[in-house]
Amino acid sequence: MKIFELLGTKHVLTEFKSEIKDDVINELIDLLNGDERILNLEDIRNCVFEREKKMSTGVGKGFAIPHGKTDSVKDIIAAFGKSEKPIDYNSLDGEPVQLVFLLIGKENLVAKHIKLLSRISRLMNNDDFREKLIKADSKDSILKVFEEEEQNYSDVY
């Protein structure tokens, strides 16, 4: 499974409504509402914010990857959003973020979760890739950017 296959257009935001870190995370979590793989949305919200309390998931280079593991999902699920305006995210490099990738793993799928986090980090380390995502103006074009970039990598599982 590829990253873009985890997303789908209903789990992509082309522009966040807020510039506040917690609100941005909540916007992504809210995209998961109604997904058949979700057992309890509030448990997901709690696990993501508990993880965020331990250390900021703003990893640098304008990118954040809020994530968590919970048995309130049937399978790994993801959402992605971007912002034209920089978001103060308390990132490790002190810089604001524009790209946020939410990843929720299931407790017993730890290896998959870690591999996906690694893949997302590797993708986001590419300056050209991040720039293409920032310039993408529709959900479909965002997914296409992910799909095209992932052609450069072997499968995750």
User: What residues are labeled active site?
Assistant: 67
Sign of torsion over alpha carbons 139, 136, 60, 20:
negative
DSSP category for residue 20: B
Q: Measured between alpha carbons, how far is 135 from 142 in angstroms, rounded to an integer?
A: 9
Sign of torsion over alpha carbons 11, 150, 71, 68:
negative
The answer to whether the CB of 23 falls within 8 A of the CB of 136 is: no
Q: Measured between alpha carbons, how far is 2 from 156 in angstroms, rounded to an integer?
A: 7
Phi first, then psi, for residue 85 (nearest 5°) are: -90, 135
